């Protein structure tokens, strides 16, 4: 997408966020669901196909454009980003990077049109530890037979496509070559999706378990037609996923800080607005400085990811931005004082909604390991600056 078209699109999206998505937030919170009419509007705006190539019905956005779009969208309730994010980030990235032409032709237009996808890596006993993955895919003639379960899968209750990681070799192998990726039609016999989990926050966004009981998928559902590349594909896709969470953290933190600023200018104590108190100002200033730093990191990491791998940068941006958003949300509650603990004020919801950002797409602790291991490897190979 050229720069002028993208600028027009983001202006339109900003208006849509404030005029349509934000006014509907109370309904989303009450119903724990995005209204169907809004989902239809989001599909019509192309929000499910931002990263799909134009020849497959998408907008063909590059990484910086996609990440900026997510940041703008994330000023509103997190559910709006969540419903689109798996399509745009991990699944689209995996298909573009590793899918066969037949797989791209079948799935990318459907995703661009708004069919919802999910990404199945995490299991009850296996999250970051893929060696412990228990879901299996055994070859049976022209099919693979999947058995096992997946845990905490975003959009599972709504998904038409699942990018599912499964063990195709019973033994753990170097570089996780025992893990393969499959493009699974979620209406296939033998698939059961559990009841959506009740969560701390992020109402309107749904996660659930997926169970596979002798699920037969055609052999051409194997992503890229090659066994043993599933984990590598997942890891490549996670760069985009982590940048998306960084963008969500920055967009939501801006909303949170604006709310804190508004309250600071309205609430009075000791005869004046609390925004005149220096310790309140310190919390506002710290929040602005950290948010600015996160936004700069995000733009730099997205630009580098657009040119190739950006493992350290994407992990660093996600780690810093998500922790920053948590701190800004905490300060917003503190600035509200007792009111910040009440559900009638947005500060309380912001605090709960933000907490997940330091957990999914790699916890802060896992990202610390990712960053350090890649730093040490690069230094040892002489690639360090």
Across 135-144, b (16+ Cβ under 10 Å) vs e yields bbbeeeeebb
Predicted local distance difference test score (pLDDT) of residue 280: 98
Closest CA to 254 of 360, 325, 189, 305: 325
Between the CA of residue 170 and those of 63, 131, 166, 228, what are the distances in Å? 36, 10, 10, 12
**Domain ranges for the chain:** 3-115, 118-228, 232-381
Separation of alpha carbons 130 and 178, rounded Å? 9
Specify the residue for token string 């933190």: 253
Backbone angles phi, psi at 145, to 5 degrees: -115, 120
Q: 232-381 adopts what CATH topology?
A: Butyryl-CoA Dehydrogenase, subunit A; domain 3 (1.20.140)
Predicted local distance difference test score (pLDDT) of residue 176: 80
Predicted local distance difference test score (pLDDT) of residue 383: 67
Locate 250 and state its tokens. 């920055």
Backbone angles phi, psi at 209, to 5 degrees: -80, 155
Q: Catalytic residue, from 295, 313, 323, 361: name it.
A: 361
Locate 314 and state its tokens. 């994407």
Task: Going from the first residue of the chain to its last (385 residues), give the mean pLDDT of each consecutive group of 10, the final group possibly shorter.
Answer: 93 97 97 96 94 93 95 97 90 90 96 94 79 90 97 95 92 81 96 96 96 97 91 78 95 98 97 98 98 98 92 96 98 97 97 96 94 95 71
Superfamily of domain 3-115: Acyl-CoA dehydrogenase/oxidase, N-terminal domain (1.10.540.10)
Give residues with Cβ within 8 angstroms of 90, minimum separation 6.
119, 163, 234, 237, 238, 240, 241
Predicted local distance difference test score (pLDDT) of residue 97: 86
Predicted local distance difference test score (pLDDT) of residue 118: 95
pTM of the model: 0.93
Predicted local distance difference test score (pLDDT) of residue 237: 76
Beta bridge partners of 268: 273
The CATH classification number of 118-228 equals: 2.40.110.10
Backbone angles phi, psi at 269, to 5 degrees: -150, 140
Predicted local distance difference test score (pLDDT) of residue 177: 84
Closest CA to 182 of 143, 149, 221: 221
Predicted local distance difference test score (pLDDT) of residue 385: 57
361 counts as catalytic? yes
């Amino acid at each position: 997408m050229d720069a002028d078209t993208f600028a027009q699109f983001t202006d339109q999206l900003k208006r849509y966020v404030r005029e349509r998505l934000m006014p509907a937030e109370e309904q989303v919170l009450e119903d724990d669901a995005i209204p169907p009419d809004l989902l239809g509007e989001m599909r019509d705006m192309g929000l499910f196909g931002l990263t799909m190539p134009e020849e497959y019905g998408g907008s063909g956005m590059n990484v910086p454009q996609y990440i900026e779009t997510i940041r703008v969208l994330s000023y509103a309730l997190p559910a709006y980003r969540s419903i689109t994010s798996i399509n745009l980030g991990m699944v689209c990235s995996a298909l573009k990077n590793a899918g066969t032409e037949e797989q791209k032709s079948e799935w990318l237009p459907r995703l661009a049109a708004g069919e919802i996808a999910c990404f199945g890596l995490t299991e009850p006993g296996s999250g970051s530890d893929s060696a412990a993955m228990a879901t299996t895919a055994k070859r049976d003639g022209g099919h693979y037979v999947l058995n096992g379960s997946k845990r905490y899968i975003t959009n599972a209750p709504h998904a038409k496509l699942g990018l599912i990681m499964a063990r195709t070799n019973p033994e753990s192998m170097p570089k996780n070559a025992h893990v393969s990726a499959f493009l699974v039609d979620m209406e296939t016999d033998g698939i059961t999706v559990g009841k959506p989990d009740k969560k701390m926050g992020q109402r309107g966004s749904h996660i659930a378990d997926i169970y596979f009981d002798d699920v037969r998928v055609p052999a051409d559902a194997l992503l890229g037609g090659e066994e043993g590349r599933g984990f590598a594909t997942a890891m490549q896709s996670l760069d985009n996923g982590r940048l998306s969470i960084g963008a969500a953290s920055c967009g939501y933190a801006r909303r949170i800080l604006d709310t804190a600023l508004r309250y600071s200018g309205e609430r009075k104590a000791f005869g004046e607005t609390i925004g005149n108190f220096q310790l309140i100002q310190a919390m506002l200033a710290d929040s602005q400085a950290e948010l600015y730093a996160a936004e700069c990191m995000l733009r730099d990491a997205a630009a580098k990811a657009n040119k190739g791998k950006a493992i350290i940068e994407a992990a660093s941006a996600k780690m810093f931005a998500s922790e920053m958003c948590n701190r800004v949300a905490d300060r917003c509650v503190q600035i509200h004082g007792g009111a910040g603990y009440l559900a009638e004020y947005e500060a309380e919801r912001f605090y709960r909604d933000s907490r997940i950002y330091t957990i999914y797409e790699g916890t802060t602790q896992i990202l610390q390991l990712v960053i350090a291991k890649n730093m040490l490897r690069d230094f040892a190979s002489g690639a360090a600056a």
